[in-house]
Amino acid sequence: MNTKRIFSRRRALPVARLAASVFAVALATGAVAEVRVDGPWARATVAGQQASGAFMTLTSSSDARLVGVQSPAAGNAEIHEMTLENNVMRMHAIDSLPLPAGKPVELRPGGYHLMLLELKKPLDAGQSVALTLTIEDAQGKRERVDVQAQIRPLGGGHGRMH
Ligand SMILES: [Cu+2]
């Protein structure tokens, strides 16, 4: 993930082996999935509200998975899915969200979403909130994608939990 750190750890290697490892890193970098992020937004909160949802459409150029999310605005953030249990919509944290090659995956109210928890201050409509997504490709290589999500007002009545 952090190539600088890898290089410094391997600085003691003989030159020939170092060159080989640089080549391997370059190949791996070429294989990293490119992920397009469309329409990122987060739901505004009122004072005292500890959690909110963030939504967007993710399209990866190759098979990959969303494996994590972080935000400086939140003490904790998770990937959530909604399921219907006995006619009640419930949300669960999931470890990863598959991003099949070329297929747009929609995160939206009532479906998959990013859950921002332990909010440090209210999310005010009209501003934006920074998110960092961690994407893992089919080879297990991870990359980070920075996203600015527009904060939109609370909708009337629909999906108040998010
Ligand atoms: Cu949630």
User: pLDDT for 24-47, tens place per residue?
Assistant: 444 444 556 799 999 999 999 998
User: Are the C-beta atoms of 146 and 130 separated by less than 8 Å?
Assistant: yes
* Residues near ion ligand 1 (Cβ under 5 Å): 80, 91, 115
Q: Cα of 79 to ligand 1 centre, how many Å?
A: 7
- 19-23, 85-89, 123-127 — most confident range: 123-127
Residue carrying structure tokens 């909130």 = 129
Q: Cα of 95 to ligand 1 centre, how many Å?
A: 13
User: Are the C-beta atoms of 118 and 76 separated by less than 8 Å?
Assistant: yes
Q: Convert the pLDDT of each residue in 67-88 to its tens digit.
A: 999 999 999 999 999 999 999 9
Q: Cα of 60 to ligand 1 centre, how many Å?
A: 23
Average pLDDT over residues 48-61: 96
d(CA 7, CA 9): 5
What is the reported pTM?
Answer: 0.76
